[in-house]
Amino acid sequence: MVTVTPYNLTGRIDQDLDRLNIKPAVTSSSLKLPNADLELMTHSERLLIEADRGKYVSYYVIALKINLHKTLNRFSGRTKSLEDMVARDEKMAIEKQIITKFSKKTLSENFDIPETNIDGFLTFCLSQEDFSELSNTWNTTEVRDYLKAKSIEFKRTDLITE
């Protein structure tokens, strides 16, 4: 055991952390504020909720109310485009997490794809139907196995440029 003299540290992190008497950080959750644990919605999600809010038709005792905003958004295709935008944002978030977990250089070396084509490979993976299932699984080996299988498919296509 080594003692670091000026700070009275032992050299073992688990013991030193207990001795430091550091107070926990103040957060909205630690203050028990209402809605502190809610996940923040993206801009696309907020737009979708605004475009698709409420019922199409509401019945009152003597009146009938039609939600024109929702009806027009549905007929014009705005609701569908916003749903597609939310799905694309979710896939882009997964892609960012993959790049954070495995660097582009690591992906290039492990899957034998030139580093200049990694963005194309990730776009190829993004366009696959089963790509969004990766959000349910964040086991590194499962993600790596998925990317390995898709890299084989990607190499079969003519999308690789040297």
77 pLDDT more than 90? yes
Confidence of residue 5 (pLDDT cuts 50, 70, 90): low
Cα separation, 81 vs 115, whole angstroms: 33
Beta-strand ranges (E) seen in 76-157 are none
Residue 137 near residue 143 (C-beta atoms within 8 A): yes
**How far apart are alpha carbons 97 and 126 in whole angstroms?**
13
Please tell me the pTM assigned to this model.
0.67
Residues 86, 155: Cα–Cα separation, whole Å = 29
Per-residue pLDDT tens over the stretch 92-101: 888 888 888 8
Residue 89 and residue 131 in contact, taking contact as beta carbons nearer than 8 Å:
no
Q: What are phi and psi of 149, to 5 degrees?
A: -65, -40
Amino acid at position 6, single letter:
P
How high is the pLDDT of residue 61? 84
Question: What's the CA gap between 147 and 121, in Å, rounded?
Answer: 9
* Residue positions counted in the chain: 162
Mean pLDDT in residue range 70-86: 94
Closest-CA residue to 48 (of 74, 23, 22, 67): 74
Confidence at residue 162, expressed as pLDDT on a 0 to 100 scale? 62
